[in-house]
Amino acid sequence: MRADQVLIEHHNVLRALCKDITGRPAGSAEREERVDDLLVELDIHMRVEDDLFYPAVAAAGPLVAVAHAEHRQVSDRLAGFLRTTPTDPAYEGQWQAFVTTLDAHAEEEERDLFPPPVEMTADELDGLGTGCSRRWTRYGRPGPSSFASRPEGLCCARCELRQQVWEWCTCSLASWASSSLTCSGSCRMSTRPCWTT
């Protein structure tokens, strides 16, 4: 399958997860589990694009630079959402801001980079698609077109990925460094709990 088709399929997985999360009550265990699942899927998606797809279409120059900048915007919105507790009045607004930013990025990618605006043969696009699909498998996922919950025994995604979110978002990192980062003790799957402010 062509690389752009692989990534569009996974955009649809991300959209479906966002829709599912939006339909669940704030603070519910089911919603929090789905948010954790979304964090894993989003992390893998961005890694696949940053490590494989964007370098392969680097000749598109400014369009790839815009896509990288949009990853930063998505990460910034995600950081804002993750800092907000479900009881905070701003929680749903932060969630909707994140979803809107993520969807806008996916739509722009699909419009501007799919199919890639560079010279690539069908074989090259298929090979890149195979590489992208293999990367999902390497990260322990069933593939870009499907979704499966975290494997049993894996620490919750918030423990694993919150630190990565802060690395993606240096402006948020500065505010976190000055806040009291404490353990909430709420991890369901490990002795290493989630981090909250």
**Both tokens of residue 167?**
């690395």
Residues of the chain with pLDDT under 70: 142-143, 145-197
Q: pTM to 2 decimals?
A: 0.76
pLDDT at residue 112, as a whole number: 95
Rounded distance between C-alpha atoms, residue 44 and residue 98, angstroms: 17
pLDDT at residue 74, as a whole number: 96
CB 4 within 8 A of CB 114: yes
How many degrees, rounded to 5, is the angle at CA 74 between CA 81 and CA 172? 60
Domain boundaries, the chain: 3-196
pLDDT at residue 188, as a whole number: 35
